[in-house]
Amino acid sequence: MVEGWFGGEGDAFRLLGTRCSACAAVFFPREDVHCRNPRCAGGELVEVPLSRRGRVWSYTDGRYRPPSPYVTDPELPWEPYALIAVELAAERLVVLGQGVPGLGVADLAVGMEVEVVPGVLHEDAETVWTTWQWRPTTGVRS
């Protein structure tokens, strides 16, 4: 589902995008076929790790089960989460993701610095599905 969208362990965890060798545009989710810049003749698309930190651009309460490709077990109670759009200045990208568990919209403000961390999307007896989550760098207010 999200093969190749992120990688690395612990502090080395990063989202992975692709960058066009001709126009330097960065894509996330990764674009591996054609540069999406309409003014670009097309270059080679090379995988690049994205900035670890960004700033909250907007956020909302995720009160509903996320749509495909997210895996959720309809038998389990749904835990609401903060859904955060984070602006990565260097890449000029806005990346959507869940907040870390326990982070609510009351803990968030536009412009707050957050960093990407690995999180568990779903797990069963055999498999843990990993995703990325956003965590404020200043700590979560309680």
At 49, give phi and psi (nearest 5°): -75, 140
16, 74 in Cβ contact below 8 A?
no
- Give min distance, CB of 20 to Zn ion, in A: 3
* Closer residue to Zn ion, CB minimum distance, 44 or 113: 44
- Asked if 45 interacts with Zn ion (CB under 5 A), we say no
- Asked if 31 interacts with Zn ion (CB under 5 A), we say no
Cβ-based burial of 8 (10 A; exposed 0-12, middle 13-18, buried ≥19): middle
- Asked if 20 interacts with Zn ion (CB under 5 A), we say yes
- Give min distance, CB of 19 to Zn ion, in A: 9
- Give strand pairing partners of 45: 20
At position 38, the amino acid (one-letter code) is P
Stretch touching Zn ion by CB under 5 A, among 23-31, 45-53, 76-84, 105-113: 23-31
* Closer residue to Zn ion, CB minimum distance, 16 or 40: 40
